[in-house]
Structure 1
Amino acid sequence: MSASTYTGNDGFWKPSSTTSARNKTDSNAPVFNFSSAPLAQQRLLLPIHKHKRQILYSVENFGVVVIVGETACGKSTQIPHYLMSNGWCDNGFQIVCTQPRRIAAQTLAARVTKEVGRTLGTTVGYTVRFDNKTSENTKIIYVTDGILLREATLTDPLLSRYSVVMVDEAHERNLNTDALLGLLKKIRRKRQDLRIIVCSATIDAQAFLDFFNAAETTLNIGTIISVDGRQHAVDVLYLDKPTSNYLRSTVETALSICKLSSKNPKGVNGEGDILCFLPSGEDVDEAIRMAQEVVDSQDPTLANHLVFLPLYSKLPFNMQARVFQIDERDKHKTKRRIIFSTNIAETSVTVPRITHVIDSGLVKLPYFDPKTDFERLIVVPSSQASAKQRAGRAGRLQAGQCYRLYTENFFLKLEKATPPEILRTNLSSFILTLKALGVDNILGFDVMDLPGVDSLSHGLESLYALGAIDDDTNLTVLGMDMSSFPTEPRVSRMLLESLREECSVEVAGVCAALQVRSLFLTPRGGSSAGRQQQQLDYESAISEFADSSGDHVTYANVISHQDDRRMDREECSERFLDYVAIRRISEVRDQLLRFLKKFGRIRSLGMATVDEKRKVILKCLTSGFFFNVAKLHNDGKYYTIRGTNHILVSPSSSSIFHTHGSHAEYIIFCETHDGSRGGMELKNVSAIDPRWLRELAPHYWN
């Protein structure tokens, strides 16, 4: 469809047969501007406020309190506030609130800091991977659940400095959340004074309470409190027929809403911002490019009133933070925002000023197949619970609208909830964490859902091959060292190997590069001739850094060049390098090196030759990723050594191995995904010497 297809009531969109009428309001009525009210008044208007006394009473009298409340009801910011004001931070105790994502921990800490009128890092702070804003006086700490697990692993097994642990967004059920819930259940047996608050945005509260009650001799150690979160009704509209291109439909629907609003600013389309849910960061970037191209070529006047913003996990914090920053004093001059986001905006964080949601109905989730050893990020339909969460983003300020880019019949066939991560991902990190916590019998550790035997067996085999556990599955010295890094075991092993090879600076840079989506900017041009010229310019610029072995040494070359030249944004753009990604890589590398200093002397390759540099970097890579090796067969195709699965090197222009690499006999890779041509495609690929496999992992390959 074109951007002009949608006219509001032409039969293309079909209202939901079950659209909520809760708190139904007249969409043309004056809207109270919540965000422009004084902070003290905002706090009183939050739905959580009327439950304040009930929450404080429950925390005082029960060991576990489960709170059900939608995102934006105020639970994440106000409950720690209430507890601190009522003595739970006395006698040197602190309150910790865990979040599944770092952006949530950072933005929540900033918000509560503003409410208490202090500087971030004093009374209120946060700790996330590669960033810490706390002090000895901090009373409320927002952390990712992985950070709290590492604290229990390395320094304080009983979490003795906390009076209350609040596990927020527990319904997401990622690996760290499940491990943390199991750990807290174990700690409660030793610390009856510890209070646990579990917050969920869905109605699975009884399952959480039953999980904790199962360990107690008393009949009931907890209670459930339900908080109504949505302040206004949201009209849900479906497509009459499935869309053939969710990306194009998302962009066209968003721009249609804006065009209708410009014609009728007081109508149902209002003037609020638009939040579009897409499955991946690649989709987000492509949607922004597509939207910008449409308005620039078809409606330049509309372009002056719009701003397109991305939101996904691998963006640097300063770019993520732009989505949450609105100057209400300048509201008449502020452009209307169209925010393209992954499911990071589904829960945990509240994006302000949203009145319209466009839901693609898709999400990219990690899945692991222990039979093939493939870890895959697969785009799959979201669950009904996710769809409801997404729709709820539109109902904070006024009556909103949610456009679902699928049919209502399709919605009714969706899974009720997203499968817990423990049932669908590689368990190596999970098992290593438990081993570091002193859990000898993994099967005896309490979790809400038991993983499959194949997944557990593969996780143990992987850790054994990495040298993290011994023949009796006990943690080795190397394994304990690996558990102290905020990275997956393969990357931790790679970093520790760099100490022996005396190339820690370069390898830490490569490890950091694996944490971002891409260092390179994809060439784009308007016309066919323009695209062709850009492709030639791209190949010329990249050839300066490209190494014939493939991607990983190329990353090291780019980072080394940045260290020497300190390229600014303009120079990076000229060289088709992503300036934001390179800055993020530098930050992560420096953090990794600070961790690594605890285990040995940090060295750089300095004046080493190209061949020497290539050899030691790839040997370190092989020490961690030797599982992911493929061999070139006589038919000219690559097959994994174990399992002999046919795989394809990604044809993406950002794949250095694909564009500049030689046809090596053995290759190693760091990521797999479902390819556009069918089959399994590889990312982050390099050629290696097969002799390293027997040298670095003899027990795996002999």
Structure 2
Amino acid sequence: MSRGTFIAPSDDEGVRRFEADRTDVDAEFNTSFTWNPTRNLPLKQQRKTLPAYKHRDELLYLLEKYQVVVLCGETGSGKSTQVPQYLLEAGHCSRGKMIAVTQPRRVAATSLAARVAEETGSRLGDVVGYSIRFDDSWTPGRTKIKFMTEGILVRELLADPLLQQYSAVMIDEVHERTLFTDILMGLMRKVSRKRPDLRLIISSATMDAEDLRKYFDLSKPSEPKQTAAILSVEGRTYPVRAYYLEEPAADYVKASVDTVLTIHRKLNTPGDILVFLTGVDEVDHAARLLDEEVERNVRENGRRSGEMELSIVKMYGSLPAKDQMKAFFRPPPNTRKVVLATNIAETSVTIPGIVHVVDCGFVKVRCFSADTQTDSLGIVSIPKSSAIQRAGRAGRMKPGNVYRLFPEQEFDKLEPTLPPEILRADLSPVILQLKALGITDVLRFPFPARPPAANMAAALELLYALEALDDNGELTEPLGACMAEFPVPDPRLAKMLLSSGDFGCSEEATAIAAVALVKSIFVGGGGGQRGLVARQAKRGFEAAEGDSLTALNAFLSFVKVGDSVNCNSDKNAAGEIRARRSRWCAQNFLDFKALSRALEIQSQLIKLLKRFRIPLVSAKGDAVRVRRCVAAGYFANAAILHHSGQYRTVRGGVELKIHPSSVLYDQKAKRIDKMAQCVVYTEVLHTSEVFMRDLTVVDVNWLLELAPHYYKRGYLF
């Protein structure tokens, strides 16, 4: 990768130097700024141009001879799309068997399934399908290649411990080392012992292949035959030139927006832009800044003839799948697409047309502290492997450029990789899944990376407090077993839902859970008059009892909009309701897509509650019932108001502040005797300070009542 010098675009002199530096780049890449030259070839010929095609016979031979193949496929090799098809063509789907391909992220599973379906000439959901949380598209008896997230395959192991319906399993993007990547590798190692006929492909871009081979080699030392082999496949990427700032950006979101605008205005060559940010809030903020700048430019200068327009697309995990797919659509003529993404766009997916990548240099990671028993989100510098992967997004279809918003010397100081997630995560969902799979001694489970003993002990203690485990550490019936089956990422959320029938508020609990799973439903208006109007609109839904009930108010109001629609057909009624709700959301600064997705998730959760025979009832406006239900699930995340005016966790005494986005944030201006004495929260965010988010006001005595086994009176009084 060649290197240049990227000067901050906010500096006038810097812009001139930036343009001068770009002259040679335009000359070098000008003839290359076109669509991939293979795109006009028939799909069958396009497949043959990929590096993986040259290794097709080698791969199939190794799978005949070995049970496990570690596939080191570099970026652009075609491993994710081609290997499943090679297995299908070689007859691995005979006798009704399927091929499973796991991905760390939902968008990768859905986009890859769509691409492979296109290449096989079938409709998505027929020969090729996918399955992700709360959404799937596949046909039993017809689907042969099934893409899915890692968590889905772990859940399938609950019903089919030996995965009898699959002839081969491909675990893709192992180098990301997500929580479920390590769990799935450990489980597949055990399944492979019981099923010698099952073929396992471990695909990675940067992991140490020999360590993986040794981990999956099940042969005994006395046996000369090994059960695992390694195959390396070269990648296909185009040159990418890297540019750096002379000084670190004080505000990398604003610097990202400035860089996008500079690229758009100063470089007339075609090419879309991919911007990496750390989270949903930053993506939304950057989108608003870009929209405002585009509107201001049109207002002041008008639309110039022939000037390219900007099409802004968001991409993050909590977006509905259909909205995530918009990033893969080609923009209209004379339009440059700008994709604002979190790190879900870092690997696995190829967004067509990307020529420029803007890398903020940071990533949001989850870290768990066993001492304080808090699971927090923190923003840290990306590792060098991620920086290289991000830059590679600009070189998948044609030569490109990456603009790193930090000095070049900082790149050399980056850590090689991030520690595996299992070393820094709350292990309660992992242990719950392992217990449900019949693994009683979780301490001896063959994790690829051994998690800290303190984290294991904290997870076991929490599951015991949630009554998912009994005194012997066994899964309780029916509560623990049902919690393991619930497709939600946090056992506390599952406990809240399963307890909702007892509190008489299951309808409200499913609504709160659905909104929590889509993250944010409120749209900020930015600064100025629009921001003031947005804050006033949110106050119309605010509840003194906290953020959960505020979100519930907004969700219930959204559902009620359109109830009076009366049309001649169901199709017309659905269209009118959608249009009316969309207008209402725009007026009230609410995210229509997020609320629509939450409504879909709520219907799925209601079906699960019915299957578990939880009565579906409404609290009919009784906020106490709802708050007690929330406390029943999140009692371990409790903070009490200290006499100093600050909140501290009940266990551990960690000082936490209320996040500025919370409806309780204005308490700071009140007298201390008017502030909520006890709150529960869903997550902790580490930035300049330690904030708690999504708060619900509870009565401190409820903690003793709902979790006497977890809290002692001395903790609370």
Same fold flag (TM > 0.5): yes
Give the structure 2 partner of residue 361 of structure 1: 361
- Secondary structure of 1:568's match? helix
8 Å Cα contact 2:498-2:614 kept in structure 1: no
Partner residue of 1:210 out of 214, 221, 233: 214
Does residue 241 in structure 1 map to residue 240 in structure 2?
A: no
Give the structure 2 partner of residue 650 of structure 1: 659
Distance 1:468 1:456 in 2: 15
Partner residue of 2:537 out of 534, 538, 541: 541
- Residues 10-56 of structure 1, C-alpha deviation per residue, up to 9 Å, x if partnerless? 379999xxxxxxxx986535855333433222212222111111111
- Secondary structure of 1:53's match? helix
Does the C-alpha gap of structure 1 residues 199 and 13 become closer, same or farther in structure 2, counting only changes over 3 Å? farther
Shift of 1:215: 6.2
Give the structure 1 partner of residue 646 of structure 2: 637
Distance 1:284 1:13 in 2: 30
Distance 1:474 1:215 in 2: 32
Give the structure 1 partner of residue 558 of structure 2: 562
Partner residue of 2:692 out of 677, 682, 693: 682
Does residue 670 in structure 1 map to residue 682 in structure 2?
A: yes
- Residues 419-475 of structure 1, C-alpha deviation per residue, up to 9 Å, x if partnerless? 100011101011111111111111211111101111111011111100011122111
8 Å Cα contact 2:308-2:336 kept in structure 1: no
Deviates more, 1:67-76 or 1:211-220: 211-220
Give the structure 1 partner of residue 392 of structure 2: 392
- Residues 591-620 of structure 1, C-alpha deviation per residue, up to 9 Å, x if partnerless? 1122222211442316x3x3xx21121111
Partner residue of 1:626 out of 627, 631, 635: 635
8 Å Cα contact 1:14-1:237 kept in structure 2: no
- Residues 567-586 of structure 1, C-alpha deviation per residue, up to 9 Å, x if partnerless? 52111111122111111111
Distance 1:599 1:108 in 2: 34
Partner residue of 1:490 out of 469, 472, 492: 492
- Secondary structure of 1:524's match? coil
Distance 1:383 1:500 in 2: 47
Give the structure 1 partner of residue 570 of structure 2: none
Does residue 185 in structure 1 map to residue 175 in structure 2?
A: no
Does residue 115 in structure 1 map to residue 119 in structure 2?
A: yes
Partner residue of 1:104 out of 101, 108, 127: 108
Deviates more, 1:219-228 or 1:480-489: 219-228
Shift of 1:549: 0.7
Matches within 5 A, 1:286-685: 286-298=285-297, 301=303, 305-326=309-330, 333-477=333-477, 478-487=479-488, 488-525=490-527, 528=528, 530-531=529-530, 534-535=531-532, 537-566=533-562, 567-605=580-618, 608=620, 610=621, 613-652=622-661, 655-659=662-666, 663-675=675-687, 678-685=688-695
Does residue 174 in structure 1 map to residue 178 in structure 2?
A: yes
Distance 1:503 1:643 in 2: 31
In structure 1, list runs of 5 or more residues that go unmatched.
Answer: 16-23, 266-270
Deviates more, 1:187-196 or 1:688-697: 688-697
Partner residue of 2:260 out of 254, 258, 264: 254
Shift of 1:644: 1.6
8 Å Cα contact 1:188-1:194 kept in structure 2: yes
8 Å Cα contact 2:75-2:237 kept in structure 1: no
- Residues 65-123 of structure 1, C-alpha deviation per residue, up to 9 Å, x if partnerless? 11112343211111111111110000111100001111111111111111222222111
8 Å Cα contact 1:71-1:350 kept in structure 2: no
Percent identical among aligned pairs is 39
Distance 2:110 2:166 in 1: 19
Shift of 1:304: 5.2
- Secondary structure of 1:224's match? strand
- Secondary structure of 2:55's match? helix
Distance 1:563 1:175 in 2: 35
Give the structure 2 partner of residue 21 of structure 1: none
- Residues 266-300 of structure 1, C-alpha deviation per residue, up to 9 Å, x if partnerless? xxxxx111111111121111112222222332465
Does the C-alpha gap of structure 1 residues 551 and 471 become closer, same or farther in structure 2, counting only changes over 3 Å? same
Does the C-alpha gap of structure 1 residues 6 and 48 become closer, same or farther in structure 2, counting only changes over 3 Å? farther
Distance 1:409 1:491 in 2: 44
Does the C-alpha gap of structure 1 residues 236 and 216 become closer, same or farther in structure 2, counting only changes over 3 Å? farther
Does the C-alpha gap of structure 1 residues 293 and 559 become closer, same or farther in structure 2, counting only changes over 3 Å? closer
8 Å Cα contact 1:513-1:519 kept in structure 2: yes
- Secondary structure of 1:576's match? coil
Distance 2:150 2:44 in 1: 29
Shift of 1:3: 4.7
Distance 1:432 1:695 in 2: 24
Give the structure 2 partner of residue 46 of structure 1: 50
Does residue 700 in structure 1 map to residue 706 in structure 2?
A: no
Does the C-alpha gap of structure 1 residues 538 and 399 become closer, same or farther in structure 2, counting only changes over 3 Å? closer
Give the structure 2 partner of residue 65 of structure 1: 69
Deviates more, 1:401-410 or 1:119-128: 401-410
Give the structure 2 partner of residue 20 of structure 1: none
8 Å Cα contact 1:185-1:215 kept in structure 2: no
Which amino acid counterpart does residue 518 of structure 1 have in structure 2? S
- Secondary structure of 2:695's match? strand
Distance 1:540 1:390 in 2: 39
Does the C-alpha gap of structure 1 residues 602 and 26 become closer, same or farther in structure 2, counting only changes over 3 Å? same
Distance 2:248 2:694 in 1: 35
Partner residue of 2:134 out of 114, 130, 136: 130
Does the C-alpha gap of structure 1 residues 14 and 460 become closer, same or farther in structure 2, counting only changes over 3 Å? farther
8 Å Cα contact 1:503-1:605 kept in structure 2: yes
Which amino acid counterpart does residue 416 of structure 1 have in structure 2? P
Does the C-alpha gap of structure 1 residues 9 and 58 become closer, same or farther in structure 2, counting only changes over 3 Å? farther
Give the structure 2 partner of residue 149 of structure 1: 154
In structure 2, list runs of 5 or more residues that go unmatched.
Answer: 1-7, 563-579, 713-717
8 Å Cα contact 2:19-2:266 kept in structure 1: no
8 Å Cα contact 1:25-1:399 kept in structure 2: no
- Secondary structure of 2:170's match? strand
Does residue 78 in structure 1 map to residue 82 in structure 2?
A: yes
Which amino acid counterpart does residue 486 of structure 2 have in structure 1? F
Deviates more, 1:97-106 or 1:240-249: 240-249
8 Å Cα contact 2:609-2:616 kept in structure 1: no
Distance 1:50 1:4 in 2: 49
8 Å Cα contact 2:50-2:236 kept in structure 1: no
Shift of 1:542: 3.2
Shift of 1:6: 7.5
Does the C-alpha gap of structure 1 residues 417 and 214 become closer, same or farther in structure 2, counting only changes over 3 Å? farther
8 Å Cα contact 1:593-1:602 kept in structure 2: no
Distance 1:345 1:372 in 2: 33
Partner residue of 1:225 out of 185, 207, 231: 231
Distance 1:275 1:663 in 2: 44
Distance 1:474 1:517 in 2: 33
Distance 2:487 2:100 in 1: 19
Distance 1:165 1:664 in 2: 51
8 Å Cα contact 1:11-1:240 kept in structure 2: no
8 Å Cα contact 1:549-1:687 kept in structure 2: yes
8 Å Cα contact 1:67-1:200 kept in structure 2: yes
